[in-house]
Amino acid sequence: MLKIRLSKIGRKGTPSYRIVVTPKARPRDGRALEILGSFNPRVTPPAFSLNKERLNYWLKEGAQLTEAVKKLIEGKYKFKPYRPQQEAESHKPKEKTEKEEPQGGTAQETADKQS
């Protein structure tokens, strides 16, 4: 089965993507059958180019679009830059403020009470 999907290019921290036709089983950045276009989300407005003639050809051949490529073509794609979540506070056991004595009290107190 053929997929039309995004293939990441560019260096670390500055991603850009190619829109490629590739077999489903190949890795994301593996060899592609054909490059159909590109997408660069880092510029304002995001740069998007696509060869529509070749896209229609591959769709007729049975290739399927991924969700991200569908949204790009429809113009509904919103690029969200990665922001790591804040780390959760570590679990610390609650400290006891007062040490509770047994109900009978200490041995010294019970001896004093009996006398």
Neighbour order of strands in the sheet with 47-50: 47-50, 34-40, 16-23, 2-9, 64-65
pLDDT recorded at residue 77: 73
Pair type for strands 47-50 and 64-65: unpaired
Task: Establish if 111 belongs to a structural domain.
Answer: no
Task: Establish if 100 belongs to a structural domain.
Answer: no
Q: Which residue has the higher pLDDT, 11 or 89?
A: 11
Task: Establish if 29 belongs to a structural domain.
Answer: yes
- pLDDT tens by residue, 17-75: 999 999 888 888 888 899 999 998 888 888 889 999 999 999 999 999 999 899 888 88
**83/89 Cα distance (integer angstroms):** 18
Phi-psi region of 75 (alpha: psi -120 to 50; beta: other; left: phi over 0): left
Task: Look up the CATH number of the domain holding residue 22.
Answer: 3.30.1320.10
pLDDT recorded at residue 115: 59
pLDDT recorded at residue 84: 74
Task: Establish if 34 belongs to a structural domain.
Answer: yes
**38/108 Cα distance (integer angstroms):** 84
Q: Which residue has the higher pLDDT, 7 or 29?
A: 7
